[in-house]
A and B are shown apart, each in its own frame.
Chain A
Amino acid sequence: MSASRKSGFGAAHFILGLSIAILVIVVAVPVLLIFLNAFWANGKFNLTDVVAVLSEQETYQALLNSVFIASGTTIGSTIVGTFFAWLVTRTDLPFKKFMRGMFLVPFMLPSFIGALAWKMLLSPRAGYINRFFMDTFGLEEPVFNIYSYLGIMAVEVMYLFPFVFIQVCGALERMDPTLEESARISGAGLFTITRKITIPLVLPSILSGSLLIMLYSMAHFGTVAVLGIENGIYNIPTLIYERIHESAGSFASIRTGTVLASVLVVSAAFIIWLQGKVLGRGRYQIIAGKSFRPVELKLRALRWPLLIFCLAYIGFTIVLPTVVIFLVGGLKTYGLPFTPENLSLDNYKFILFEYQITKDAIFNSVTLGLSAAFITMFAGVMISYVIVKMKVRGKGILEFLGMLPFSVPGSVIALGVILAWSGKYGVNLYNTVWIILVAYIARYMAFSLKANSAALEQVHDSLMEAARACGATMWQTLRDIVLPLVRPGMLAAFFLIFLPSLRELTVSIMLYAPTTRTVGVAIYTLNEDGETVVSAALAGVALVLIITGQTVINRVSARYQRG
């Protein structure tokens, strides 16, 4: 009796220890090193240097830019996302299902590839749209300069608004329709109901989506890198990159980087805290069982105009940039008009079969993505299991550590990983693929924890207790009961990591070496070097990979849900 008790205790503690170790090594140490480098100089706590760094003109401006761009993006995305969500859930807009699917497409498109496309369309001199208007109508000035705050915000809104859209759609669909019906029978018209009942009830969901966008945009690298640097617009992540990249790891640049990274971590933590507050306070019990379909607002005369508006929006923000990427990828030289004699598949052949840099990049991204997804999936299921299901002392530490990946943006991870794995502490992974792998695991741990704990929470304790009562040991229970039941969650985690890592830019751009470029890095650097057509062709290949992957997953998960 006492012997079996002892061994059970040991196993639980072994898993707990391993889980803590993984999170400490992968996430906590890098973040800690960043804080240490920022606030600790010459053996003591040092705030004056931090203030000095922050009050430098450039860092100060980058901070302001991050906040400014994130605010604009958040406001724009919230309006766009809420409006479209309301349109596809609460009105009689034609083809609602299809529209709903289309509005989610930007989720899977990498925003820096979108930014690249918009650069090709709207850069002040060379952009196709600007040139078209200047040539045709003899305009002196470009129609729109994408290298501007407004341009950056517009592109970010196009790719980020689904965060609000999906939250609000969910809230509107789950809402008990009788809440609105009782307002109707009280004498309120549909407009009043929307204003006084519906919007206030889904406000927590709107805000939580908005804060998610704020968090994402503050720490967003790609769009600002592609569209801002040209005009001297830097935000926090792009300035960190610029400093580390240019000065090759000098003390001063590391210093600036860590201070900026600390600012990012603190603001991210604040935003996440705020989001928890909003959701906690506003989580109304607005979900009920029996229900008829909610009342649909009849758009009447506006029905078709609004459909055309939606289609135009989708055409302009999704189809147009995607098509431009593929077309430019087919051009002999950037800037030529899109005529049949200028277009060919040569660039695609070149990047897939001849060009060493792009061939390496594709190989690196696929292998990195697969290994990161595989490792993170298993680590995530173990850590989630401890957090959700196990009752051991010391779990609190793990719960705290488990929150960490959610609030650490990509550029912070990259910087932290450089600090931790550059040989200062005995292991030097710098300039190898391994450092990118470690960073990917840290970056995507949050996805895996989320998917796996959601799956584990569905497995009721009594299912495991029943197995134990039938005579199964803890390990047998895990193998025969728990793992099969959480397999959908694990699969979800795998793809949630594999697909984004195919297009990852923020982390890899800080960590790559000449032979360890990823697809994202290759697209970005080729474009910087003026090899626009090759870069576009590679972006096209990446889009095909991502869209194919996503379609396969949607099919598989649909079958999972049905069967």
Chain B
Amino acid sequence: MSYVRLTNVTKQFGQVTAVNKLNLSIEKGECFSMLGPSGCGKTTTLRMVAGFEDLDEGEISVGERLLSSSAKNFYLPPEKRDFGMVFQAFAVWPHLSVYENVAFPLRIRKFPASEVASRAREALQATNLLNVAQSSPENLSGGGKQRVALARALAINPDVMLLDEPLSSLDPHLREEMRFEIKDLQRRYGFSIIYVTHDQSEAMALSDRILVMKLGVVQQIDSPLNVYNKPANKFVFSFIGLHNFLTAGRLSDGRPSLDGKTPLPATLTPPEQIKDDPTLTLASRPSEIDFNTRGHIAATVTRKSFLGEIVDYQFSVHGQDLRVQKSRHTPGPEVGETCGLLLLKPYWFSGD
């Protein structure tokens, strides 16, 4: 049963449509990520769920509770929504101690003193902050501050946790560590997470489902594996992971060709639904290409760089660039040499 529901949600900023007719339902206890380049509307969507932005059309509800509805002219302010939220820039209050930061939402709700203490303690324990409870958050590192923000969001034991790029102000190694901590907390407390990020690996690692957005329009909502393996369109393919695009035309007999003369081998045939499109894109991932004498296409190495674990090649295919990444143990051609490339997992998209 879906828990957080967004129905036909639309938000305009002046002439710009930031979010366009978004429909979405998130399960209880699910970790749901919204992914996209900056300006795609993911943060606006999250802020509409949080209540910092009203919506121009549609409706948002959680369980039985209506949060915003343009038709019913209803809008519940953020302080009444009982969510936990973590912001990118930490937003911990420097004039309050770590403990007081965490106790704040409990005091606001006028919990009895003993319960404020026990709940704040629990949240601090869950985030490993008990030993710094009395110090000022100013003395903590970025990771420490973000833990305080997390503890503060946990304190009221919310059903829904909103995370607005919570890790992007942290160092890369810390980011990975915090990722698992968030996941652990979710398992323990069972809240739903709505997670906004522009980092695709973060979304992949954390989420049950991912929404990919572009210019306010949903591109795909699916499991991480499906978003990677079965991208809905070229944008999703390019946004998730490294990618190669080769533009292909049609020969007079309808067979696709990269150079307008030689047809591509039969193993590289576009799927049924785009078989009539005049221009096509042949997409592939750099890690899913093999060197093979009987390969699909012939290509010349223009650059070869050793990156440690992997070797990165750049090939020229009829004037178009193509990247290949291979383990350093795999033998490969040198710059200037020509060899056959076998696309292990080709994708076809319409247009160029």
Is A280's beta carbon under 8 Å from chain B? no
Is A511's beta carbon under 8 Å from chain B? no
CB distance from B345 to the nearest CB of A (A): 37
Q: Is the CB of A178 within 8 A of B79?
A: no
Q: Which range contains the number of A residues in contact with the other chain?
A: 20 to 34
0 or 1 for each of B203-214: is its CB under 8 Å from A? (1 = yes):
000000000000
Contacts of B108 in A (CB 8 A): 186-188, 192
A185 to B80, CA, bound (A): 8
Residues 82-98 (chain B) with a chain A CB within 8 angstroms: 82-85, 87-89, 91-95
Within 8 Å by CB of B91, from A176, A196, A200, lies A176
Inter-chain pairs besides A181-B87, A186-B104, 8 sampled, C-beta below 8 Å: A176-B89, A176-B91, A178-B87, A181-B91, A185-B162, A187-B79, A187-B82, A196-B104
A284 to B95, CA, bound (A): 8
Is A353's beta carbon under 8 Å from chain B? no
A200 to B105, CA, bound (A): 17
Q: Is the CB of A185 within 8 A of B94?
A: no
Q: Is the CB of A284 within 8 A of B94?
A: yes
Known: A184-B78, A187-B109. A197 touches B93 (CB 8 A): yes
Within 8 Å by CB of B89, from A183, A186, A200, A290, lies A290
Contacts of B79 in A (CB 8 A): 184-189
A249 to B153, CA, bound (A): 71
A181 to B85, CA, bound (A): 9
Within 8 Å by CB of A288, from B77, B89, B152, lies B89
Q: Is the CB of A185 within 8 A of B93?
A: no
Is B156's beta carbon under 8 Å from chain A? yes
A289 to B87, CA, bound (A): 12
Q: Is the CB of B138 within 8 A of A179?
A: no
Q: Is the CB of A185 within 8 A of B83?
A: yes
User: Closest A-chain residue to B102, C-beta based?
Assistant: A186
Residue from A176, A186, A285, A286 having most chain B Cβ neighbours under 10 A: A186
Within 8 Å by CB of B78, from A185, A192, A197, A289, lies A185
Is B149's beta carbon under 8 Å from chain A? yes
User: Closest B-chain residue to A187, C-beta based?
Assistant: B108
Q: Is the CB of B152 within 8 A of A186?
A: yes
A184 to B84, CA, bound (A): 10
Q: Is the CB of A201 within 8 A of B89?
A: no
Contacts of B52 in A (CB 8 A): 181, 184, 292, 295
0 or 1 for each of B104-115: is its CB under 8 Å from A? (1 = yes):
110011000000
Q: Is the CB of A289 within 8 A of B89?
A: yes
Contacts of A197 in B (CB 8 A): 93
Which B residues fall within an 8 A CB radius of A?
A: 47, 50-52, 77-85, 87-89, 91-95, 104-105, 108-109, 138, 149, 152-153, 156, 162
A483 to B277, CA, bound (A): 63
Is A182's beta carbon under 8 Å from chain B? yes
Q: Is the CB of B109 within 8 A of A179?
A: no
A197 to B79, CA, bound (A): 14
A144 to B50, CA, bound (A): 53
Q: Which 10 A-B pairs have the closest CB atoms?
A: A186-B105, A288-B89, A284-B94, A178-B91, A178-B87, A185-B85, A182-B91, A187-B108, A200-B95, A184-B78
Q: Is the CB of B93 within 8 A of A201?
A: yes
Q: Is the CB of B156 within 8 A of A187?
A: yes
User: Closest A-chain residue to B104, C-beta based?
Assistant: A186
A290 to B153, CA, bound (A): 21
Known: A186-B104, A186-B105, A192-B108. A179 touches B50 (CB 8 A): no
Known: A179-B93, A200-B95, A284-B95. A185 touches B50 (CB 8 A): yes
Known: A176-B91, A285-B94, A285-B138. A183 touches B50 (CB 8 A): no
A292 to B83, CA, bound (A): 19
Can you list 19 contacts pairing A with B, beta carbon distance less than 8 Å? Answer: A176-B91, A178-B87, A179-B93, A181-B87, A181-B91, A183-B93, A183-B104, A184-B79, A185-B78, A185-B83, A185-B85, A186-B105, A186-B156, A188-B79, A284-B95, A286-B94, A288-B91, A292-B52, A295-B52
CB distance from A384 to the nearest CB of B (A): 31
CB distance from B247 to the nearest CB of A (A): 36
